[in-house]
Amino acid sequence: METEKESVSSSKDKEIGEPKVIAWEDLEQELARLWSLSSALKKAKEKKQALVEKLEPLIKVNAESACRSNELQDMLQRLESRKWAMGNSLLHLKMTKEELQRHEEQLPSAVRSLLLASKQCSLASRQLDEAEKLLAGERGYGHLQHLQKLLRIRQQYMVTQVSSIYPVKCLVGKTSEEKINSDHRGNTSEEDSVSSSSHVSKPNNNNNNNTEAASSLTILGLPLPTPTLRKPSFFSDKKEAQRSATSLGYVAHAVSLIASYLDVPLRYPVHLGGSRSYIHDNAPSVDPVSSDLSLSSSEVVVSPKPVEFPLFLEGQDTTRAAYAIFLLNKDLEQLLNHIGVESRGPRHVLANLKELISRILSHGFTDEDPQETIA
């Protein structure tokens, strides 16, 4: 069959390349040969067509088989991934079950604690209701506020009496003798004016500062001494020493009265004695006899007893008297802080006393909550 095809192709090439001249005698033989070739070619085409018809279903089957095998591989891969995900899910499920079991074991104790807390909460709620009923009753918080206001009004009234007994005033343009004489002559009129103006509202701080800067404060017409700025020989005049001791006694008595009315225990208690008053320092102090400079710190004797410091200068050390005035001003600062006011300084005894009385006699003193003021 292949030889026939090769001969046909070679004959075609010869016919195309060079035309073949056939003799008349060989024509019949050549035609027979061509006829046999054409019949062979026809048979070959028929076989080819038959083979093509047989191979086409096989090719389709092979293609479908290859497609199915690819799909099978994809499905296998997806199956493996699903198996891996299922394994993770099973592990997570196992851990969740273990955690759930642990929570179930802890649940009874949590329920017991919750029941106990519920009982305590209900008990606290009942106590709160009872407390609210007590507060809302006739002797509740409203009654307490009313009593506190009445107490403050009473304290204000008592401090008004102190202010009328020991008036603190600013005197401008007068000598000390003129101040004393004018105060003694007009004592009765001053008491009336102070008592009539005792319920004045809180003064302006700026105006007070400007007025006090250009004037001197006196208590009952007597100024306070300044022993730290004066030599001891300055008090050779007994009258001047008596006046200073008297003014300090006035201030000590006023501070003691106001502290007792406000129910404030003073840090430095005052021993009243008129012009011979003393103030106590309860802090442990060093005995001056044994505190000589030649002694060492281990030889210094500490006295646990309170030390008295004189509030007068006659026959006393000016340093001790100055410290006594400092402690008296500390008591005034304690009273000012008790009502929520700041002190004006360590050397402003009469200014602090005046500020204390003014704040107590103001309208805001009776309206404030005592607990908030102390805080």
Residue 125 lies in a domain: no
Residue 113 lies in a domain: no
- CA dist 283 and 303 (Å) reads 9
Does pLDDT of 13 surpass 60?
no
Residue 270 lies in a domain: yes
Same domain, 86 and 164: no
Q: Mean pLDDT throughout 199-209?
A: 42
Q: Mean pLDDT throughout 63-75?
A: 91
Structure tokens at 288: 């001056």
Q: Mean pLDDT throughout 346-356?
A: 87
Residue 67 belongs to domain spanning: 24-104
Does pLDDT of 135 surpass 80?
no
Same domain, 189 and 51: no
Same domain, 99 and 151: no
- CA dist 311 and 248 (Å) reads 6
Contact 167, 194 (CB under 8 A): yes
Same domain, 285 and 348: yes
Q: How far out from the chain centre does Cα 277 lie?
A: 48
Give the global pTM.
0.52
Backbone dihedral angles phi then psi of residue 281, each to the nearest 5 degrees: -115, 110
Number of domains in the chain: 2
- Burial per residue of 317-348, b for 16 or more beta-carbon CB atoms within 10 angstroms, e otherwise: ebeebbbbbbbbbbbbbbbbebbebebbeeeb
Same domain, 73 and 154: no
Q: What are 36-68's pLDDT values in tens digits?
A: 888 899 989 998 888 888 888 888 888 899 999
Same domain, 86 and 224: no
Q: How far out from the chain centre does Cα 291 lie?
A: 48
Q: How far out from the chain centre does Cα 336 lie?
A: 28
**Closest Cα to residue 348, out of 319, 326, 363, 364?**
326
| Better-scored residue on pLDDT, 33 or 297 | 33
Average model confidence (pLDDT) for the chain?
76
Does pLDDT of 270 surpass 80?
yes
Q: What are 156-184's pLDDT values in tens digits?
A: 899 999 999 999 888 755 444 444 444 44
pLDDT above 70 covers a percentage of the chain that reads 71
Categorize the per-residue pLDDT at 125 as very low, low, confident or very high, splitting at 50, 70 and 90: very high
Residue 328 lies in a domain: yes
